[in-house]
Amino acid sequence: MKRREFFKNLAHGLFSFFGVGLIVYPILRFLSHAKETIKTVIFHPSETLLKINYKQGVYLKRKENGSEAISAKCTHLGCTVAYNERKSEFHCPCHGSIYDKNGKRLSGPAKKSLSLLPVRKEKNGDLIITLKE
Ligand code: FES
């Protein structure tokens, strides 16, 4: 094999390798993001006494007839919102979206309200919240 032919084959191989990589990499990346994980958050009875409590991405609100769970994940780009007790609102620290105390969108770049999450009560009083990430 001549030197010129060797470099030609090398260049062809490199272009092919990176060309395939340019196509395959985004597909693999998309598939890995498409995989959703299910997370369970447990609030023990003593943790349900507060008006609102936060744990692992979930706000648990005490209501007259039980509890309501709200995802703390901002619907804009996924930052964790903080509860502002004085204003009874959820504020996103990233781009300023604001949600009311029930998670309803009030302002900011987010277009949707915070997600309400199903709450299941165990016999021992634990509240089980399941969320998809
Ligand atoms: S991530 Fe919350 S406003 Fe952008």
Tens digits of residue pLDDT in 65-74: 889 999 999 9
First to last CA, the chain: 54
> Rounded to the nearest whole angstrom, what is the distance from the C-alpha of residue 132 to the centroid of ligand 1?
19
Q: Any residues with Cβ below 6 Å from ligand 1, and which?
A: 74, 76-79, 92, 94-97, 108-110
Phi, psi of 33 (to 5 degrees): -80, -30
Is the pTM above the cut of 0.75?
Answer: no
pLDDT at 67: 92
pLDDT at 5: 81
pLDDT at 12: 73
Using the predicted structure, report yes or no on whether residue 21 has a pLDDT greater than 70.
no
Residues 84, 50: Cα–Cα separation, whole Å: 15
